[in-house]
Amino acid sequence: MSSLIFDSKIYGSAWADDDFRAIFDEPAMVTDWLEILSVLAETQAHFDLIPKDAALAIAETCRATVVDGDFLDEVGVGFKDSGHSTQGLILAIFRRCPEGAGEWFYYGTTVQDLTDTWMSRAILKSHVLIQQSLDKILAILLPMANQYKNTTMAGRTHGQQGLPITFGFKVANWAGEMARHSERLSEIRPRLMYGQLSGGVGSMASQGSRGFEIQKMFFDTLNLLPAPVSWTSSRDVVAEWSQLLVLICGTADRIGHEIYNLQRSEIGEVREGFIEGTVGSITMPHKRNPEISEHLGTLSRIVRHNAALICEGLVHEHERDGRSWKAEWNAVPQATMAAGKTMSLLAGLVQNLEVDPNRMLANLEITKGFVLSEPLMLALAAKVGRKTAHEIIYEMSLKAQEAGMSFKEAVLSNCDITTHLPNLEMEGFFNYAQHTDYCAAMVERFLNEEGGK
């Protein structure tokens, strides 16, 4: 097994999708580094900071370099020998440049200029992919909420049945969180647009007298923006990105955990869609395990723990602190890839979800109607007061359940109740669906608001 499971030839597909791997894999990253450095040389030459012929040679060399295993090995040796993060890359390109041109490669820039600019580009690409997955999930959940807005099921608190709700109400709750995450993604994008070109301490002293112009042209070419002030030690936006991933994956984990529980053999109200050939258990062939729901929890934990590490960078010493900033090199790719996989898995999960309304109703019947104790207490309280009503229903419930009576039988045989509420049966009080009107109404209100956006 690979020492990093994201890179495992066997298991890697469970931890990152190919489109995210194409952003964060080392060959892809170094290729993008070389493109960034090509643009830098061309921009600096445009403002006569370096010779134009040298810039042309640098750009041609960088873009012609194939970042394969041999090249990465060469760069790795250079790093190991020097102890500097990009010295190996500098020497590898220097050796490939025509004579003299390599002297101007990587001119006036720092490791953090390169890696922060690359990271902004990588996060922005990931942002698009996560938004696409989120849109897909919402496009599934919104019609599902409408479809099941009147499908009665048990609402549970503390793991116990409490009151009737509808499955559509539960789904709308999931969709509401996803809709807010979509808003948050839109809100954060402008703050993700900033690249870094500021030199050793962020002062831009190495970019000459036209530094702001170099910055603007450089970032325009890379579809980024120059930050109003250098952010070498300000890592709040990187931390914000990680925390947004925590929120998004937290919702995915919550949905997965709910499906995991509702799929339990004893409950069986929903099930992950079955794919022919899927094996639930090597030793128990009958099992259909909630593998996707379970893995959402695993991936979300990866996101949360990496986000905590990223937040350590908020406490940054002076103008640069490698202890804080370099931890992002490990944590940002892992958190982002795990979040991307989380979203693609969740999209498939809700798309193929099997819903069993009959089992939902049957599970409500397990309580023999006692989930209606609260609305009965409130109706009786209007006649005799809340405290007295609670005592009457409490005593009746204990005795009836000990005697094996249904809620309806117990209520209709209790004169303390029927004296004040004689028409319960005629009014349809014992119909569960009568007590979920607001659930359906809230679904409709939510869908109307989403449709108006």
Per-residue pLDDT tens digits for 25-74: 999 999 999 999 999 999 999 999 999 999 999 999 999 999 999 999 99
Q: Is residue 277 part of a domain?
A: yes
Q: Is residue 207 part of a domain?
A: yes
pLDDT of residue 370: 87
Summarize the confidence of residues 96-125 as an average pLDDT: 96
Per-residue pLDDT tens digits for 334-383: 999 999 999 999 999 999 999 999 999 999 999 898 888 898 889 889 99
What pLDDT band is residue 421 in, cutting at 50, 70 and 90? Answer: confident
Q: Is residue 341 part of a domain?
A: yes
- Say whether both 320 and 289 belong to one domain: yes
- Say whether both 213 and 142 belong to one domain: yes
pLDDT of residue 166: 97
- Say whether both 123 and 166 belong to one domain: yes
Q: Is residue 6 part of a domain?
A: no
Q: Is residue 443 part of a domain?
A: yes
Q: Is residue 97 part of a domain?
A: yes
- Say whether both 121 and 188 belong to one domain: yes
Per-residue pLDDT tens digits for 124-176: 999 999 999 999 999 999 999 999 999 999 999 999 999 999 999 999 999 99
What pLDDT band is residue 278 in, cutting at 50, 70 and 90? Answer: low
Asked which of 75, 104, 133 is the last residue of a domain, the reply is 104
Summarize the confidence of residues 381-399 as an average pLDDT: 91
Summarize the confidence of residues 447-452 as an average pLDDT: 88
pLDDT of residue 283: 54
- Say whether both 25 and 80 belong to one domain: yes
- Annotation marks residue 281 as catalytic: yes
Summarize the confidence of residues 280-292 as an average pLDDT: 65
* 400, pLDDT greater than 90: no
Q: What percent of the chain has pLDDT over 90?
A: 77
pLDDT of residue 1: 35
- Say whether both 301 and 440 belong to one domain: no
Asked which of 332, 347, 362 is the last residue of a domain, the reply is 362
- Residue of 3, 158, 209, 265 marked active site: 158
pLDDT of residue 276: 58
Asked which of 79, 104, 129 is the last residue of a domain, the reply is 104
Total tally of structural domains belonging to the chain: 3
- Residue of 13, 203, 281, 413 marked active site: 281
- Say whether both 300 and 383 belong to one domain: no
pLDDT of residue 274: 74
> 383 lies in which domain range?
365-451
pLDDT mean across residues, the chain? 92
pLDDT of residue 108: 93
pTM: 0.92
- Say whether both 430 and 345 belong to one domain: no
Q: Is residue 7 part of a domain?
A: no
Least-confidence region, from 208-212, 333-337, 421-425, 447-451: 421-425
- Say whether both 328 and 291 belong to one domain: yes
- CATH code at position 343: 1.20.200.10
- Say whether both 23 and 167 belong to one domain: no
Q: Give the C-alpha separation, 197 to 113, whole Å.
A: 5
pLDDT of residue 299: 97
Q: Is residue 99 part of a domain?
A: yes
What pLDDT band is residue 7 in, cutting at 50, 70 and 90? Answer: confident
What pLDDT band is residue 424 in, cutting at 50, 70 and 90? Answer: confident
SS (H, E, C) the chain: CCCCHHHCCCCHHHCCCHHHHHHHCHHHHHHHHHHHHHHHHHHHHHCCCCCHHHHHHHHHHHHHCCCCHHHHHHHHHHHHHHCCCCHHHHHHHHHHCCCCHHHHCCCCCCHHHHHHHHHHHHHHHHHHHHHHHHHHHHHHHHHHHHHCCCCEEEEEECCEEEEEEEHHHHHHHHHHHHHHHHHHHHHHHHHHCEECCCCCCCCCHHHHHHHHHHHHHHHHHCCCEECCCCCCCCCHHHHHHHHHHHHHHHHHHHHHHHHHHHCCCCCCCEECCCCCCCCCCCCCCCCCCCHHHHHHHHHHHHHHHHHHHHHHHHCCCCCCCHHHHCHHHHHHHHHHHHHHHHHHHHHHHHHCCEECHHHHHHHHHCCCCHHHHHHHHHHHHHHHCHHHHHHHHHHHHHHHHHHCCCHHHHHHCCHHHHCCCCCCCCCCCCCHHHHCHHHHHHHHHHHHHHHCC
- Say whether both 41 and 56 belong to one domain: yes
- CATH code at position 96: 1.10.275.10
- Say whether both 220 and 324 belong to one domain: yes
